[in-house]
Every structure is written in C-alpha cells, then in structure tokens.
Structure 1
C-alpha cells in the first residue's frame, strides 16, 4: 500500500488505515441492523473495543463514517472518465464512467440497496451526500471541458459544469427510482430516461 507520492506507507499509516476499515465495516453492519439514526458513536466504539475518544480520532461524525469513502469514489469516477476515448462525446463518456464506478463498489446488490436506502432515508446523510456530489462535479469538469474543445473558455466551463452536474443529478434520480422499486427497476434504463428528459 503506497502513500499519495507512490512511496510505501509506513507502519503507523497502514495501522491507521486498517483501524479505519474496521470501524467502517463494523459501523455499516450496525447501521444496517439497527438503523442509522438509532446507532450511536458510543455503540460503534463499544462494538469495536475502543474508546469513544479514540473513535473520534478517526471519524468526527456518523456521517463521516458512511460517506468517508465518497471522496475516493469521486477519484475513481474521475479516473474512469479520463480513461474514456478522447473523442467520445461528454454524455456517453459520463455514462460509461458512472457505470464503471457502480461496478467497482465492493457490495452485493442486496447490501448496496440497503446502504442506498439508508442514505436516502436520513436527512443528515442526504445533506452530506449533496455536498460530496458537488465535489464530484468539480472533479469531472476539467475532462468534460476538454471534450467540448476549449477548456479555458469561460462559457465552455459553464457548459462543462452543467453537463457534469446534470449527469450526477440523473444518476441520483435513477438511484432513487431503483431504491423506491426495491431494486426491481433497471438503474441504467432509469438513468437513460432521465438523460433523455434533460436533453429533450
């Protein structure tokens, strides 16, 4: 495991990452078993066998535990977009990148449905999720602007922001539809329908 500069991570950093992963795994299990709002940081700390103070050294809030990997997912999405053919139109490239992100998630369809349902049911999680999605938009804009042909032009930046934001909004609508259907609706078809409505 390497650090951000490609160097092998030290023992302390590897230990920290291992503890963070254990916290997330344990907390997600408790959230799914008991509900997000009903689970406390104290219960999470007790389940893991660490003090509440130690838990707060890793995560300040329950929302941070659930959405802490959202930033990493944003980087996966950006990398997937940048790996698409340079001449691929923005909408097609965004669709393919979002599909790659979804396929990269380490959850079964059943667990992903439970986690997504939990996200949609909690107002505090929804608020934080929207904040993270804004960060994703910023990550996607440079590549979209290049695909539009004039990355430094102000109006191109406007169009790139609009495209990235709309694609993520369509993804959110498709995911919400999938959750409401209990996982029976085809998420990609719902995304395509949302995009068609925006582009029509």
Structure 2
C-alpha cells in the first residue's frame, strides 16, 4: 500500500471514529454531517468523498469486515471440505469483531434505535449472504446445489447474527468465541426446533 493509500485509510478511519463518538453522545438523527466534519478536522466535501451518506459512516467498517470474510472464503482450497472452509470464515470474522469490540457494540446500540441504519445493515448482510451462497454453490455438486448453498449461507449468516446479538446484549461479558462454539454445538447436535419434514 502506497503513502497516498495509507493517508486515505487513516483519514477514513479518523472520520468514522469521530462520527461514532458523536452519534453515541448526541444520537444519530441529531448529529449533522457538518458536525462530524468539524470533529474530524476535514472539510464537508472531503467527508462526502469518503462517505456519501450518514449511514455509510457507520456501515463502512461493517462492510470491510464482511468483504474480508468473503475474500477468506474465496481463498480456501477447492478441495477443502465445505464445513472446514466455513469454519475458517466464521473464525476469521469473529476474531476481527472481537478485536473491534467497542465499535461493534456501539454500532449495534445505534442501530436498535435508528431505522435507516437497520435498513442499511440488513442490506449489507443480505448481499453478503447471497455472495457467500454463490461461492458455496461453486463447491457443491448435484441438482440441488443452489438450494443447498442458499441454505448453508442463510444458516451461517443466521448463526453470526444470533451470536453477535447474544454477545452485545451481554455487554461482551462472555467471550465471543465461547458463544460461537455453544451455538455451533446446538446446531450440530440437532437440538434446535425446526419445521417438521412431512413427505
């Protein structure tokens, strides 16, 4: 990464961090783009170059984490069993989230009371789930490959969302890894009520 890219990355992070501080202190709706620009010591036009909407100030780093996990999935050897590959992806995502714990919890707290943020985050997870399903489908054979891939991606995303909610609701007191392992165990032991299969 060149000096210009490093400077842009630092500026982007500085803006996002200041935005999150203001949103947490004043509320998302009450905070203006101009206030964020002043706090981050950049011009409003510069801020808009990095973040075209107020929601993107929050959603940007979430997007980075999700994109990173997809790249990890795509980098898995083609002959690696899918359960192993998905575990690598899950482990990477949860490790990154744990390292960024303060921001992740702050974002969840904001999203609970901000419809536009909820919509933006839902759009991100929907897109991530579809892209993961596409990657899984390339590794699954048979006539039901698409359906299997879609179910696998949906289950993975569902697990991530439930684990994160449990972790945030507990104020991070339980280690994220521990909650993840508990959730995986429940899924794999079949101790989760599902719609009955008839026929």
Provide the TM-score with structure 1 as the length reference: 0.76
Q: Is the 8 A contact 2:72 2:89 kept in 1?
A: yes
Gaps of 5+ in 2: none
RMSD over aligned Cα, in angstroms? 2.9
Matches within 5 A, 1:137-176: 137-150=129-142, 155-176=144-165
Structure 1: gaps spanning 5 or more residues: 2-8
The equivalent position to 1:136 in structure 2, one of 128, 131, 143, is: 128
2:119 to 102, 115, 127: 127
> Counterparts of 2:110 and 2:182 in 1: how far apart (Å)?
20
Per the alignment, do residues 198 and 63 of structure 1 end up closer, same or farther by CA in structure 2, a change over 3 Å counting? farther
TM-score w.r.t. the length of structure 2 is 0.76
Inter-partner Cα distance in structure 1 for 2:126 and 2:158: 10
Match of 1:45 in 2: 37
Q: Aligned partners of 1:18, 1:108: CA distance in 2, in Å?
A: 16
Q: In structure 2, do the counterparts of structure 1 residues 81 and 54 end up closer, same or farther at CA, with 3 Å as the change threshold?
A: closer
Cα pair distance change 1:146/1:51, threshold 3 Å? closer
Report the count of equivalent residues. Answer: 188
- In 2, Cα distance between equivalents of 1:198 and 1:164: 19
* Secondary structure of the structure 1 residue equivalent to 2:93: helix
Measured in 2, the distance between the counterparts of 1:65 and 1:119 equals: 12
